């Protein structure tokens, strides 16, 4: 009986840990809204929801594969050349994604343009390879990449959705309003990208502040309740 208990506990810890590995990228450490990483694609290709989605998926794909390979090779890469090898690996996968997208649809490739190639300099991917994948097991690196990729895609969709609805009155190309809706063209233009991201960051700052303000109050109330009892 006795030796079983710690094993169960350890399993639980690991399981909670791995779920957390995935979820942290989605919300608590969201690469765009919290860490403010990889701004170029976030602003440049989010003038429609479909572009945003493709870009998010392409980035997530590169992130997943490069995290996988970096994690596999982490014992064989000496620290002196690690950045060089990481960049080489990332550039390879970006080239692969570039060709895959061209094979699937030229239309999408044309609308994303050179920004697919520019995934290579997205600090998010190099950052995850350096900070996480080169130090953790393959499984955890994959989970981390999935979470971060999903978080990045989610953030891009938030941007693209808002900009497309306001700037064109459509979402994924489907008209949402009646014909007399006057689109707010500025939102699809470059400056709209800055405004939308600024507004999202404002929202996140506000949420964070409210949580911080709530926390001491909550603790104080808990203490009060404790002392009353």
Chain residues that interact with other proteins, rule: CB under 8 A = 36, 39-40, 43-44, 47, 69, 73, 76-78, 80-81, 84-85, 87-89, 91-96, 98-100, 102-103, 105-106, 110, 113-114, 117-118, 120-123, 126, 167-168, 183, 185-186, 188-195, 197-198, 201-202, 205-206, 209
138 CB neighbour count, 10 Å cutoff: 15
Residue 72 exposure: Cα atoms within 13 Å on the Cβ side: 7
Supply the minimum distance, in Å, between the C-beta of residue 61 and other proteins. Answer: 12
- CB nearer to other proteins: give 11 or 208: 208
Supply the minimum distance, in Å, between the C-beta of residue 210 and other proteins. Answer: 10
Supply the minimum distance, in Å, between the C-beta of residue 104 and other proteins. Answer: 8
Supply the minimum distance, in Å, between the C-beta of residue 219 and other proteins. Answer: 22
Beta bridge partners of 175: 170
Complete DSSP assignment for 103-125? HH-HHHHHHHGGGTGGGGG-HHH
- CB nearer to other proteins: give 9 or 202: 202
- CB nearer to other proteins: give 23 or 201: 201
Supply the minimum distance, in Å, between the C-beta of residue 74 and other proteins. Answer: 11
Supply the minimum distance, in Å, between the C-beta of residue 17 and other proteins. Answer: 29
- CB nearer to other proteins: give 18 or 130: 130
- CB nearer to other proteins: give 121 or 157: 121
Taking the CA atoms of residue 164, residue 155, residue 208 and residue 210 in that order, the dihedral angle to the nearest 10 degrees is 40
Contacts 24+ apart (CB under 8 A), 84-90: 86/126, 86/129, 86/130, 86/134, 87/120, 87/126, 89/129, 90/62, 90/66, 90/119, 90/120, 90/125, 90/126, 90/129
Taking the CA atoms of residue 150, residue 153, residue 157 and residue 160 in that order, the dihedral angle to the nearest 10 degrees is 170
- CB nearer to other proteins: give 22 or 71: 71
């Amino acid at each position: 009986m006795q030796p079983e208990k710690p094993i169960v506990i350890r399993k639980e810890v690991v399981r909670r840990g791995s779920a957390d590995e995935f979820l942290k990228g989605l919300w608590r450490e969201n690469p765009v809204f919290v860490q403010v990483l990889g701004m170029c694609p976030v602003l440049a290709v989010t003038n429609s929801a479909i572009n945003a989605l493709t870009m998010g998926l392409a980035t997530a794909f590169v992130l997943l594969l490069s995290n996988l390979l970096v994690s596999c090779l982490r014992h064989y890469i000496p620290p002196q050349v690690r950045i060089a090898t990481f960049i080489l690996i990332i550039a390879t996968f970006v080239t692969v994604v570039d060709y895959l997208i061209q094979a699937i649809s030229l239309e999408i490739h044309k609308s994303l343009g050179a920004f697919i190639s520019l995934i290579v300099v997205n600090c998010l991917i190099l950052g995850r390879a350096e900070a996480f994948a080169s130090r953790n097991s393959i499984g955890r690196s994959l989970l981390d990449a999935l979470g971060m990729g999903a978080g990045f895609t989610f953030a891009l969709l938030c941007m693209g959705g808002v900009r497309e609805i306001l700037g064109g009155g459509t979402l994924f190309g489907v008209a949402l309003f009646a014909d007399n809706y006057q689109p707010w063209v500025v939102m699809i233009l470059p400056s709209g990208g800055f405004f939308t991201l600024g507004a999202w960051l404002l929202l996140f700052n506000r949420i964070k502040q409210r949580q911080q303000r709530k926390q001491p109050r909550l603790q104080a109330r808990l203490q009060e309740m404790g002392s009353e009892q």
